[in-house]
Structure 1
Amino acid sequence: MTPQALRDLLEEKLDHPDRPAAAASRGDGDLDGRVIPSGARLNQAAVLAPLILHDGPPRFLFTMRAAHLTKHAGQISFPGGRREPGETLAQTALRETHEEIGITPDHVEILGCFDPYETVTAFQVTPFVGVVKPGYTVTPDHREVSEVFETPFDFLMNAANHERHEMEFRGKIRRFWAMPWQERYIWGATAGMLKALHDRLFGDR
């Protein structure tokens, strides 16, 4: 798929960035059954899936969280975080991307958003896809991010690479999506969002 064809597909299939869906349709319990009590109060958050369409095949940028963090240390994620008062979710995704990896909002064109994702830590996370414009600079905030790296879009959107893994957590077996790529282990909420994006673009197949 050419970069322009991919861009056209995303613009067709994604929700308008100013009108994200109100209810989450994906979450950490997708493979286990619902794990968040119905009616639970969820914190609003957003992430940006930074998509590079120039200088080679399409690919996403990811961060690896710093090893010293008390939560989710060493895990792979998209840049993002909790919404602050007065922000739209799209603004949250852009602000967090700037703070975490140094890419300024003027170097990102948001194409849309897709299925909000509920986490067992009581967040409803809205993922946005944003095309990163040429001339951007990556400057990770090493208080939060140990590494920024790229992974091919075609690999992540290939259903053959969507693996079902499991682990014991607090005495229970938890099942989750994983997309191991080279020496990186993309799993959990990030892999779940990628699976949701795949299903949105290409159908649940």
Structure 2
Amino acid sequence: MDRDDFFKRRPGMIGERNYGQYAVLAILVETVKGPALLFEKRSEMLNRQPGEICFPGGRLEAGEKPVEGAIRETMEELLVKQEQIEIIGPGDIYISPYNMIIHPFIAKLQDYNYRFSHQEVSEVFTVPVRFFQENEPKKYMNQLIYEQPNDFPYESIPGGKNYPWSIGTYTINFYNYEEAVIWGMTAAIVESVVGLINTYQLLSDF
């Protein structure tokens, strides 16, 4: 490789190897209430985030492209075939303060019979896109505060233990629809996805 290759390279992200890579599908389905987004409620048997509401998806496997991982996980969780899934396009990437990078993709799902894997999912339900278009999420600002390990070398930094650490902030979104509470990362992705749906008129062929 030479300088020309370097000039053309896609920049990486410093510290990216410390982040888990995930992908989800924001699935659009047709319902009696019009176009809707499909959500899962995670099984109570899962160790991580049992009972949480989310999009189909999960952690990428080694060498897997984000869209491939999103499709694979959706097939496993919703018991559908790949030919039932139509990828419309990529959403905006979500970078979590908890060392997660989530790649959303907007998709359509054809002929879904609302079956799912009970090992991973306890329920699936839909929310009309119109609901999100007409209702902004409630937003709550959280703080991220540094907590240093006991062996942190305070003597090596200006001010030592009195160093003026910055305090990070991030917003947590909440949507309440009937009995469902959609919040956190999923709600942040919903807000972004609905913005893309509006901007690019992605419901024009429904």
CA shift at 1:174, angstroms?
Answer: 6.8
Mapped pair 1:92 → 2:88: no
Contact 2:129/2:194 (<8 A) preserved:
no
Q: What percent identity do the matched residue pairs reach? A: 31
Partner of 1:186: 182
Partner of 2:125: 149
Among residues 139, 145, 156, which one is paired with 1:164 in the alignment?
139
Mapped pair 1:49 → 2:18: no
Q: What is the rounded CA distance, in whole Å, between the counterparts of 1:139 and 1:201 in structure 2? A: 26
Q: Which has the higher strand share?
A: 2
Q: What is the rounded CA distance, in whole Å, between the counterparts of 1:23 and 1:161 in structure 2? A: 34
User: Alpha-carbon deviations, 1:35-56, whole Å to 9, x = none?
Assistant: xxx7352121100111113665
User: Alpha-carbon deviations, 1:14-53, whole Å to 9, x = none?
Assistant: xxxxxxx9889xxxxxxxxxxxxx7352121100111113
Amino acid across the alignment from 1:136: Y
Partner of 2:56: 79
Consecutive unaligned residues of structure 1, counting only runs of 5 or more, are 1-20, 25-37
Q: What is the rounded CA distance, in whole Å, between the counterparts of 2:11 and 2:58 in structure 1? A: 18
Equivalenced residue count is 168
Among residues 188, 192, 195, which one is paired with 1:199 in the alignment?
195
Partner of 2:7: none
CA shift at 1:63, angstroms?
Answer: 0.2
Q: What is the rounded CA distance, in whole Å, between the counterparts of 1:48 and 1:198 in structure 2? A: 13
SS of the aligned residue for 1:109 comes to strand
Among residues 111, 116, 122, which one is paired with 1:140 in the alignment?
116
Amino acid across the alignment from 2:176: P
SS of the aligned residue for 1:53 comes to strand
For the aligned residue pairs, the C-alpha RMSD in angstroms reads: 2.9
